[in-house]
Amino acid sequence: MLEKVQRRFTKMIINMEGLSYEDRLQSLKLRSLEERRNRQDLVEVFKMAKGMTRIRLQELFMLEENTKGTRRHSLKLAKMRCARDCWRHFF
C-alpha cells in the first residue's frame, strides 16, 4: 500500500510522468520501500550489537568464533534458525 502511494506521488511531480518508477526515485534521490526496510533492519541490528535495545543480539544471532576473515573484530553474525513460536518471549 505504501509503495503504491509513493508510485502515485512521484508521477504527480512535473516532468516525471514519462519516466519509470526506478528512474523517478533516482532523480528525486529517494529509496524504494524495500531499500528502506533493509536499511532499518541494519540499524536495528547495530542497536542490538551496541546494547541500545531491550533485545539482546545473542537472542537472534550467534557470534562466529572464527575472526580471521573479519579483521579480528568479534561481531561476525550468523543467523539462528527459529521455530514459529520463538518470537513470543520478546513481546
14-49: per-residue pLDDT in tens? 888 888 989 998 998 988 888 999 999 999 988 988
47 and 69, same structural domain?
yes
- Domain interval for residue 17: 1-30
In the predicted structure, residue 77 carries a pLDDT above the cut 80: no
Q: What is the mean pLDDT of residues 58-85?
A: 70
C-alpha–C-alpha distance, residues 7 and 80, integer Å: 36
Q: Are 77 and 62 in contact (CB under 8 A)?
A: yes
Domain count, the chain: 2
Q: Is residue 67 situated within a structural domain? A: yes
Q: How confident is the model at residue 67 (pLDDT cuts 50, 70, 90)?
A: low
In the predicted structure, residue 87 carries a pLDDT above the cut 60: no
46 and 24, same structural domain?
no
Residue 37 CA: distances (Å) to CA of 17, 57, 71: 26, 19, 28
Q: Are 77 and 88 in contact (CB under 8 A)?
A: no
75 and 44, same structural domain?
yes
73 and 49, same structural domain?
yes
Q: Is residue 84 situated within a structural domain? A: no
pLDDT value for 40: 94
Q: What is the pTM of this model?
A: 0.60
Q: Is residue 86 situated within a structural domain? A: no
